[in-house]
A and B are shown apart, each in its own frame.
Chain A
Amino acid sequence: MPGPVLIVAASDDWPTDRVVVALESRGIEVFRMDIADFPQRLVLSGRIDQASGWTGELATEQRTVDLSRVGAVYYRAPGAFRLPEGMSGPEKRFAAAQARAGLGGVLSALECRWVNHPAAMARAEYKPVQLAAARACGLIIPPTLITNRPEEVLAFATESGGQIVCKPVASLVLIEDSRLKSVYTRRLCPEDFADLRGIDTTAHLFQSWVSKEHEVRLTVVGERMFAAAIHAGSEAAHEDWRSDYGSLTYTRSSVPEPVAAGMRRLMKRLQLRYGAADFIVGPDGRWTFLEVNPCGQWDWIQGATGLPIAGAIADDLQGVT
């Protein structure tokens, strides 16, 4: 019997529910926790000595898991530590740092199958790292500029025939003025270049516009690849499909072998077992890599296409690929 699967995810991460159900239906023991459970709902007791690696347990009111028996960990966007009320600010910061290094350190040290290991995820989340790795792995990437120098933007636009996009290097949402705002990929027009004040305030990412017939969300789980073609039904979605989900239609797709081989190399290089990659497929059929998110959403793709992603994640956690 394989060891239990430890799931570290936000309790309101509904896609993770599906992974829990898939594993339990196979008779696999599951211990699900959110980092936010610590220290008030979750107890850690870990020991290490010369004779053995980390042993001990994680426990909640409902169940306990023996650290030394954990066979795999599914790590997906857990919440922050929820510390006791009444702590001062300095106490909270101290306690959070101790919790991170203590609980986070013990978990990170577990030598088992990870989907994905948090250290690998943290590094892979940097788009510049992804682009460099994708290029090294033989995938086609768009010419890209990251800069805070306005004149560099003009030069890049000229080199690209004026056909460039601007997109956030990191998170695309913010709340200001009490309103939620998103910054989607923007195909720039000549008027946008008239006033470049603010470029120098931070890093900005620009890419050459890539002509697209459609896009593909390629979900990679272990050795398996699930390709969903995303067809935009509006101008906004053609520019950035995230901006108009209502107009999208999805079909299952296949992956050209050179792209699949490149993705396998990329996943290995980034030390990821799960990744949600985005590609543009041009009118000529060429696949251009945009990014791979180590924690990308997958549930709606499964819902729209029937691609068995939850089952594949369960397979991979069991070591069945």
Chain B
Amino acid sequence: MTTPLDRDAFPLTPPGGRTPYSTEAPSGPQTRPWALRFARVPDSTQAARVPAHVFDHDRQVNVSDDGGLLTCMANTHTPTVPDGSTTNPPPLDEGPKD
């Protein structure tokens, strides 16, 4: 059961990430939310892959393979262009939610 404490006191990204992976197929028109009729797989042709990087615990920032800081939105300049990867869902323009 979700309590007010869970909901309001300390919102976190849910376990499994904000966009949990699923192999389930859409249901039928009687049960599928109407708005999902307009769901589409994003155009991944505009997407830029995030470069390889690690979190440097000493410096408290992410660094790329050459040791430099990541530039604007991790060098992509396309912050929320989804690349269609289910393991790299786009950053959402909203906060953590359960």
B70 contacts A14, CB within 8 Å?
Answer: yes
A261 at the B interface (CB under 8 A): no
**A interface footprint on B67-98 (CB within 8 Å = 1, 0 otherwise):** 00111111001111110111001111111110
A198 contacts B9, CB within 8 Å?
Answer: no
Q: A180-B41, A300-B77, A300-B79 are in contact. Are A173 and B92 (CB under 8 A)?
A: yes
Q: How many residues in A have their beta carbons less than 8 Å from beta carbons of B?
A: 78
Looking at A30, A119, A175, the one whose CB has the most chain B CB atoms below 10 A away is A175
Q: A174-B19, A198-B30 are in contact. Are A119 and B55 (CB under 8 A)?
A: no
CB distance from A155 to the nearest CB of B (A): 16
A176 at the B interface (CB under 8 A): yes
Residue of B nearest to A35 (CB): B12
B96 contacts A245, CB within 8 Å?
Answer: no
Residue of B nearest to A169 (CB): B35
Instruction: Name the segment of A102-110, A156-164, A280-288, A312-320 touching the other chain.
Output: A102-110
B60 contacts A30, CB within 8 Å?
Answer: yes
Residue of B nearest to A76 (CB): B95
A177 contacts B12, CB within 8 Å?
Answer: no
CB distance from B73 to the nearest CB of A (A): 5
B70 contacts A78, CB within 8 Å?
Answer: no
CB distance from B83 to the nearest CB of A (A): 8
Residue of B nearest to A303 (CB): B72
B10 contacts A96, CB within 8 Å?
Answer: no
CB distance from B26 to the nearest CB of A (A): 6
16 further A-B contacts with Cβ under 8 Å, apart from A107-B10, A204-B33, are: A10-B13, A14-B73, A62-B57, A80-B13, A81-B15, A100-B9, A104-B12, A167-B35, A171-B19, A173-B18, A173-B89, A174-B39, A183-B35, A198-B34, A199-B34, A299-B73
